[in-house]
Amino acid sequence: MLDNMIRGTVCIEDIEIGMTRHLKKIVTDRDIEMFAEVSTDHNPVHLDEDYANETIFGGRIAHGMLTAGLISAVIGEQLPGHGTVYLGQTLKFLRPVRPGDQVTAQVEVIDIDLGRRQVRLNTYCLVDGKKVLEGEATVLAPSRKFD
């Protein structure tokens, strides 16, 4: 099987409809603070508990794109993995993610275009078994033919 992989990556030739990969991460205050710094999004709903308590969320929430970034991690590290290039991603945010929540980010292969090296993935994130984010990604997958 190692012959079919490049540096732990699943090559387009070995991807099958229905394949899934996931990761789990507890979102911390530090994650939110670092994301605010890197993105320059300092919206107080993410950083100021007093402010956030007065919003419809009743407390601080993580940046939606921080949660979406976990999908990117699954795609870039696991399926297809290193060498993958994002072509597009849709996102629908369904519920807030709060500091301390464990997020499960999952991707599932739903279509493969071998000739174009493109893979479509159903993408979603869960907290306590409930979807907090869903979408679809299209990526350019690595190939042994171009190694």
pLDDT digits (tens, 9 = 90+) for 40-64: 999 999 999 999 999 999 999 999 9
Q: Is residue 96 part of a domain?
A: yes
Q: Is residue 54 part of a domain?
A: no
Residue 147 confidence class, pLDDT cut points 50, 70, 90? low
Q: Give me the mean pLDDT over the 4-8 stretch.
A: 47
* pLDDT > 60? residue 69: yes
Handedness of CA 51, 24, 19, 113 (dihedral sign): positive
The answer to whether 99 touches 32, Cβ cutoff 8 Å, is yes
Q: Is residue 127 part of a domain?
A: yes
Position 56 scores a pLDDT of: 97
**How far apart are the C-alpha atoms of 8 and 123, rounded to whole Å?**
21
Preceding amide of 80 cis, omega within 30: yes
What are the phi and psi torsion angles at 140 (to 5°)? Answer: -95, 115
Q: Is residue 94 part of a domain?
A: yes
Provide the number of structural domains found in the chain: 1
Position 145 scores a pLDDT of: 83
Q: Is residue 39 part of a domain?
A: no
The answer to whether 146 touches 62, Cβ cutoff 8 Å, is no
Q: Is residue 50 part of a domain?
A: no
* pLDDT > 50? residue 79: yes
The answer to whether 76 touches 82, Cβ cutoff 8 Å, is yes
Q: Is residue 78 part of a domain?
A: yes
Structural domain of residue 101, as residue ranges? Answer: 2-27+62-146
Position 55 scores a pLDDT of: 98
Q: Is residue 36 part of a domain?
A: no
Q: What CATH number is given to the structural domain containing 114?
A: 3.10.129.10
> Is 80 in a helix, a strand, or coil?
coil
Residue type, 136: E
The pLDDT tens digits for 89-101 are: 999 999 999 999 9
Q: Read off the pTM.
A: 0.91
